[in-house]
Amino acid sequence: EAGVAQSPRYKIIEKRQSVAFWCNPISGHATLYWYQQILGQGPKLLIQFQNNGVVDDSQLPKDRFSAERLKGVDSTLKIQPAKLEDSAVYLCASSPRTYDRPETQYFGPGTRLLVL
């Protein structure tokens, strides 16, 4: 079974530039998560999708971050314009369902962003 794919793996941009990350979840997984992980900290949830609908985006800085999941499969996360404090690893995860039993989140390798 193929895992969660993310691209690019690394990105260096200057502040005020725009950047986009792409995630392809495990086939058939209904739930997709984007996390921001700053060095030395645990992942922080940015947005959670159930199919192509948003379940939780309470911690997404909506003035500069946006995300979409067209057709309930692939997802893109965009930052426009980027700030220095956006330097982090952006992790994408997927899970098969979010109903009444626990399920495992499967994480991609992450995209490491450096804003100069």
Partner 1 sequence: KNQVEQSPQSLIILEGKNCTLQCNYTVSPFSNLRWYKQDTGRGPVSLTIMTFSENTKSNGRYTATLDADTKQSSLHITASQLSDSASYICVVSSFSGGYQKVTFGTGTKLQVIP
Binding site for partner 1 (CB under 8 A): 4, 31, 33, 35, 40-45, 48, 50, 55-56, 91, 93, 95, 98-100, 102-105, 107-110, 112
Q: Which is nearer to partner 1, 27 or 99 (CB)?
A: 99
Q: Which is nearer to partner 1, 38 or 84 (CB)?
A: 38
Classify residue 78 as exposed, middle or buried by CB count within 10 Å of its CB (0-12, 13-18, 19+). middle
CB of 101 to partner 1, least distance (A): 9
73, 25 Cβ separation under 8 angstroms: yes
Sign of CA dihedral 96, 101, 104, 105: positive
CB of 82 to partner 1, least distance (A): 21
Q: Which is nearer to partner 1, 14 or 103 (CB)?
A: 103
Cα–Cα distance, 116 to 100 (Å, whole number): 44
CB of 81 to partner 1, least distance (A): 27
Alpha-helical (H) ranges within 24-95 are none
Q: Which is nearer to partner 1, 80 or 97 (CB)?
A: 97
Phi-psi region at 67: left, alpha or beta (left = phi > 0; alpha = psi -120 to 50): beta
CB of 66 to partner 1, least distance (A): 21
